[in-house]
Amino acid sequence: MMLSTNNIELRHSHVMAIVNVTPDSFYSGSRSLSSLDVEHRIERAISEGATIIDIGGYSTRPNAPEVSLEEEWLRVRCGLAAAAKIDSGVVVSIDSFRSEVIRRAVEEFGEVIVNDISAGEQDAAMLGVVAKYDLPYIAMHMRGTPQTMQSMTEYKNGVVEGVVEYFKARVEDIVAQGVKRERIVLDPGFGFAKSMEQNYELLRGLDQLRALGYPILIGLSRKSMIYKPLGITPEESLPGSLALAWEVLRAGDAILRVHDVRESAQLITLAKTYRG
């Protein structure tokens, strides 16, 4: 089956299930190594309510080791093959900042969403590839690289203004390189070049990001901003993840990038009921 993005409206709320084909994701429950493990993870996510499967072959946790292009591609290809084999019609996104990974994916498997932590700044060819294939594009705010980002948390006028002003300029650059404005999704990048306090400041200021008029993706699931204040582990942080996701959804739709699909799908249903 060839993959497609035609049947998804990104302005609605969605559960994006994290499928890390890596050995070192910060949350052990999201690591999938064998092709059978990946297939089972995807099947379960779909059955629990995921409408997007996010496949990653390069861990972007703080201080994560670098991964070669070929190794990343082998991992991503494993996930794509599993998703295509399942033949569910689910939409697939690829968590990568490398244009060559995206190019190979599209040419072999079909249309994907591009989930780029660097908003096109790590690979100068990325936006051209996205434009060529007319792909949905998630641009995330980050400074530096996963290896250096936590030393880059100074924001002149606060993190909310810093993120909003970054996206105002960056979106225009992205559009100028041929990516359609209506295909762009913004991710404020919780945990990427932000201190714990800044993560919560950003969460409180999400209305300013929404005001830019683009769909938003939120990745809070089981991150250190949840488990460190509570003195617990990522494995114990589901309740906190859901509490913060509720704060996001109370104000409007969002794509939730999560480890826990069933619970997040239920949360979206409740938020829609709450908003009326």
257 is catalytic: yes
What does the block give as tokens for 229?
Answer: 């204040």
* 245 contacts 256 by C-beta, under 8 angstroms: yes
**Active-site residue, selected from the candidate residues 156, 204, 257, 275:** 257
Query: How many Å apart are CA 127 and CA 140, to the nearest integer?
Result: 13
* 225 contacts 196 by C-beta, under 8 angstroms: yes
CB proximity list for 34: less than 8 A, separation 6 or greater: none
* 89 contacts 49 by C-beta, under 8 angstroms: no
Helices (H), the chain: 35-48, 69-86, 99-109, 126-133, 159-176, 196-204, 206-210, 224-230, 238-250, 261-275
* 199 contacts 241 by C-beta, under 8 angstroms: no
**Active-site residue, selected from the candidate residues 104, 210, 223, 262:** 223
What's the start-to-end Cα distance of the chain, in Å?
37
223 is catalytic: yes
Q: How wide is the angle at C-alpha 16 spanned by C-alphas 89 and 161, nearest 5°?
A: 140
Work out the angle between the directed axes of helices 159-176 and 196-204 (0-180°, nearest 10). 70
DSSP string, 202-242: HHHTHHHHHTT-S-BEE--TT-HHHHHHHT--GGG-HHHHH
- Name the residues annotated as catalytic: 223, 257
